[in-house]
Structure 1
Amino acid sequence: MRFALASCQQYEQGYYVAYRHMAREDLDLVVHVGDYIYESSWGVNHVRSHESGEPVTLEEYRARYALYKSDAELQAAHAAFPWIVTWDDHEVQNDYANDRSQNLDPPDVFLARRAAAYQAYYEHMPLPSRARPSGPAMQLYTRASFGRLATFHVLDDRQYRSHQVCPRKGRGGSNVVEHCAARLDPRLTLLGPVQEKWLHEGLARSRARWNVITQQTLMAQLDRKPGPGQAFWTDGWDGYPRARERLLSFIAGKRVTNPIVIGGDVHMFVVADLKTDFDDPRAPVVATEFVGTSITSQGPAQRRVEAWLAKNPHLKLALSTRRGYTLMEASAKRCVARLRAVADVTDRESRIRDIATFVVEDGRPGAQRGG
């Protein structure tokens, strides 16, 4: 089976030329892992406009979806293939966590906004009726199985998570921290206890050749501090390292068949070996991760990424300068990931090419460079 991994499509920062190329691929489905819309305007060198301010009400979120879905290339990709979808933060508000907003709005005020955002998401995305929201609650996590070949375990890492620890003073949301003992609290959860249990049970009983853990962000540890010491971003799995350790230890202990983690969020291609202990170079690889770059959203400076690569040897690749998608093909013997990048998202006629190929062999976790 063949699928494309997509995420992060800030409307103002580029044209959806990647979707024009995607619609011409021979695919079985598209997997979108979040930031389908952006509530906020940011970045530089905009090529088009949101035409309104940040949405808060249901009508305003509906209008934002209508704007994004007016794009002909996005329409073509929806018309060509079925989609599996999950959200990240920008479908509501940047860096929100459970009932806490980045601005530390009163919880009842923020939950009213979240209810509006969830309703608009349900109305505009290809979802079953069982996902219909009830106020600010909506069960999005689900499974999709394709015979004995692949099962997608589709997660929600926003609605049930613990609040990010060690935030900036007077703010909610993420931070990059060097010394934050609270980050190591085993009670912290990215998925919530119910969803975490659901995921473990599904992985344990799966008989699929490939178990695709479909989530929003980067799971691999990413030490962001050049030189001595360590620094971690608290919005992704690095903010919840004990929860990550629980999941990866469970995968290793239960010998889950061919776990592949896919994600987005960080606006760069990342290929990584996943371990229960990233600081131990002798620790075995227990799963493989492919994070797709953004469709349009601008990424961090590559010079910073190069410094991160030097500190994180479990990363096989990290590239922030290119926009596009990851084309993945799973068979009985291997899973192949082709990293597809457009030359320029400000050019509607931009071409696309493969910039790297990686292969995961059946029964052998870890990605290897392909031809």
Structure 2
Amino acid sequence: MGHGTENGVGRRAVLRGGLAASGALLVPATVAAPALALSGRPTATSGVQSGDVTATGGLVWVRSDRPARMVVETSATGSFRNARRWTGPLVGPDTDFTGVTRLHGLPPGEQIHYRVLLADPHDPRRTGEPVTGTFRTTPQSRRSGVRFVWSGDLAGQGWGINPDIGGYRIFDAMGALDPDFFLCSGDNIYADGPIAATQALPDGSAYRNVTTVEKSKVAETLAEFRGNFRYNLLDGNLRRFNAQVPSIIQWDDHEVRNNWYPGEVIAASDPRYTEKSVDVLATRARRAFSEYFPVSTLRPASDGRVNRVLRQGPLLDVFVLDMRTYRNANSPDDQAHDPQGILGREQLEWLKRELARSRAVWKVIAADMPIGLVVPDTTEGLPNIEAVAQGDPGAPLGRELQIAELLRFVKHRRITGTVWLTADVHHTSAQHYQPSRAAFTDFEPFWEFVSGPLNAGAFPASALDGTFGPERVFVKAPTASNVSPAEGYQFFGEVDIDGHSGDLTVRLREQDGSVLFTKVLRPGLVGQ
């Protein structure tokens, strides 16, 4: 993003655990000690996560405090009677003691209870306390419908875990909706955003942060990137949510550095970085990202991509984009010819193929950046463009050329049901794109919905670019920049697809769950 300053009984039974807020907010860095120097049994230090769930399987994640063998048990009930056992990897310092186990052969459309055991590698009978979680496999029929939530941008602009306001409490509001999954649209961490013990608020009071050693400076080493991911998992709200709701995770710039692009070299005038090669930083960040999230395409023996398709039954396919790894350099973005664009040619062709072969009623394009909102990049002091739109309302230029090509393809292949979801700009809004308002007209109307941040500075609404004819139907944003989470303006979105009618309802919500805006889209209708 361009802001460089920046219950008991129900469909889910969840082990509720929390971060006990104490007077001391400094949390020491986790030190990897040899197994022989540790007493007791292996312990899961950061809860559990599940992700990239399919009709018959999914991934389960855990982190241990020492070398251990990961074991997962699954069952149809929380009692774990007739449990099925999965032997996972041996976790150790090579992966910062994190591990992922792939589950398969599960029944579709069912609630799956799982628990993770960590066993002493030298004595498998010595296991730590199990940590439990749950997820629903995707249905093969449309009767049950699909419900999910999305947002992005966590712990940005120096606003971290603040026990005074309940930590990352937005995750409790999202969990209360009992979604089938959570789509995180990027900026899962702010590797370039140190978190100090306090930060001043406009009324003269102080915003207090939990702090760690790794969050005291910008991340450059692999250990520092890992520490950024561990930091967020100190929050009990997030750990509870992770145990309840599986994720679909994508990344954006702040997993590495604000507004980064491949080949970038950090200016000598930025003294925070001793490592000036962004490619080196991105390699370290990508490794930490793959260690701390259950992403199917980043597992060993996978193809190492963030972009992927998650098929959620007959009603929904989710197309996860990577608008960071393959982009060209940030520039004024006004070139008349741009074969690389923001997606890269290979990813664009992949997206076309996957959209054309999709038979789902709805096709959510999960973009980590907006299409028609102008996001500038002044990181190096130049008036460059960070996203797609560059503020020229005329014919497509620069990265807009690639989006125009995609929109034209969707129209001419008669692909219906595309909806764009994103975060990044730290406010919430709904844009309708219409050819009759646009300079480029060879496309069918579509909607783009923006949500976030989860726990970061909020910013005023971005300017619109008229090339694709957007009309901002709804927006909520502050008038000041970098408004703290203590002052509100934290948002998430909900998508609810009805199994009978196929209607897709989008609700934009505030951090307490209250609904700000609702839009119902009907399947197969053009121009809605």
TM-score (norm 1): 0.80
> 2:410 & 2:266 partners in 1: Cα distance?
33
> 2:209 & 2:300 partners in 1: Cα distance?
32
For structure 1, which segment, 99-108 or 238-247, has the greater mean C-alpha deviation from structure 2 after superposition? Answer: 99-108
TM superposition shift of 1:208: 0.7
What is the correspondence of 1:149-164 to structure 2 with a 5 Å cutoff? 149-164=315-330
Name the structure 2 match of 1:173: none
1:116 aligns with 2:284: yes
- Which residue type is aligned with residue 295 of structure 1? L
1:340 aligns with 2:340: no
Name the structure 1 match of 2:400: 241
For structure 1, which segment, 356-365 or 252-261, has the greater mean C-alpha deviation from structure 2 after superposition? Answer: 356-365
Q: Cα 1:366–1:126, aligned 2, differ >3 Å: closer, same or farther?
A: farther
TM superposition shift of 1:196: 0.5
For residue 491 of structure 2, the aligned residue among 319, 324, 343 is 324
For 2:223, what is the secondary structure of its paired residue?
helix
For structure 1, which segment, 3-12 or 71-80, has the greater mean C-alpha deviation from structure 2 after superposition? Answer: 3-12
- Which residue type is aligned with residue 226 of structure 2? R
Name the structure 2 match of 1:181: 334
For residue 449 of structure 2, the aligned residue among 254, 279, 290 is 290
Name the structure 2 match of 1:227: none
> 2:219 & 2:374 partners in 1: Cα distance?
32
Q: Is the 8 A contact 1:28 1:81 kept in 2?
A: yes
Q: Is the 8 A contact 2:155 2:189 kept in 1?
A: yes
> Which ranges of structure 2 fall in alignment gaps of 5 or more residues?
1-145, 161-166, 202-206, 377-382, 391-398, 479-488
> 2:521 & 2:168 partners in 1: Cα distance?
29
Q: Which of the pair has the greater relative contact order for Cα pairs under 8 Å at 6+ separation?
A: 1
TM superposition shift of 1:187: 2.2
What is the correspondence of 1:10-89 to structure 2 with a 5 Å cutoff? 10=155, 12-13=158-159, 15-41=167-193, 45=201, 46-48=207-209, 50-51=211-212, 52-89=216-253
Q: Cα 1:221–1:55, aligned 2, differ >3 Å: closer, same or farther?
A: closer
- Which residue type is aligned with residue 264 of structure 2? R
Q: Is the 8 A contact 1:7 1:36 kept in 2?
A: yes
TM superposition shift of 1:299: 2.5
For structure 1, which segment, 56-65 or 20-29, has the greater mean C-alpha deviation from structure 2 after superposition? Answer: 20-29
> 1:289 & 1:36 partners in 2: Cα distance?
21
1:257 aligns with 2:416: yes
What is the correspondence of 1:132-151 to structure 2 with a 5 Å cutoff? 132=299, 138-151=304-317
TM superposition shift of 1:282: 7.8
- Which residue type is aligned with residue 314 of structure 1? E
For 2:295, what is the secondary structure of its paired residue?
coil
TM superposition shift of 1:133: 7.8
> 2:436 & 2:371 partners in 1: Cα distance?
13
Name the structure 2 match of 1:217: 369
Name the structure 2 match of 1:177: none
For residue 514 of structure 2, the aligned residue among 339, 342, 353 is 353
- Which residue type is aligned with residue 299 of structure 1? A
- Which residue type is aligned with residue 490 of structure 2? R
TM superposition shift of 1:108: 8.6
Q: Cα 1:274–1:114, aligned 2, differ >3 Å: closer, same or farther?
A: same
Name the structure 1 match of 2:472: 315
TM superposition shift of 1:115: 1.2
For structure 1, which segment, 97-106 or 8-17, has the greater mean C-alpha deviation from structure 2 after superposition? Answer: 97-106
> 1:281 & 1:194 partners in 2: Cα distance?
24
- Which residue type is aligned with residue 181 of structure 1? D
- Which residue type is aligned with residue 334 of structure 2? A
Which of the pair has more CA radius of gyration?
2
Q: Cα 1:102–1:109, aligned 2, differ >3 Å: closer, same or farther?
A: closer
For 1:237, what is the secondary structure of its paired residue?
coil
Name the structure 2 match of 1:346: none
- Which residue type is aligned with residue 195 of structure 1? Q
Q: Is the 8 A contact 2:428 2:476 kept in 1?
A: yes
Q: Is the 8 A contact 1:288 1:366 kept in 2?
A: no
Q: Cα 1:314–1:285, aligned 2, differ >3 Å: closer, same or farther?
A: farther
Same amino acid, percent of matched pairs: 23
RMSD across aligned C-alpha pairs, in angstroms? 3.1
Q: Is the 8 A contact 1:31 1:83 kept in 2?
A: yes
Q: Is the 8 A contact 1:208 1:257 kept in 2?
A: no
> 1:110 & 1:257 partners in 2: Cα distance?
39
Name the structure 2 match of 1:363: 524
- Which residue type is aligned with residue 257 of structure 1? T
Q: Cα 1:277–1:293, aligned 2, differ >3 Å: closer, same or farther?
A: farther
> 1:163 & 1:309 partners in 2: Cα distance?
20
Bigger share in helix: 1
> 1:101 & 1:23 partners in 2: Cα distance?
40
> 2:401 & 2:277 partners in 1: Cα distance?
31
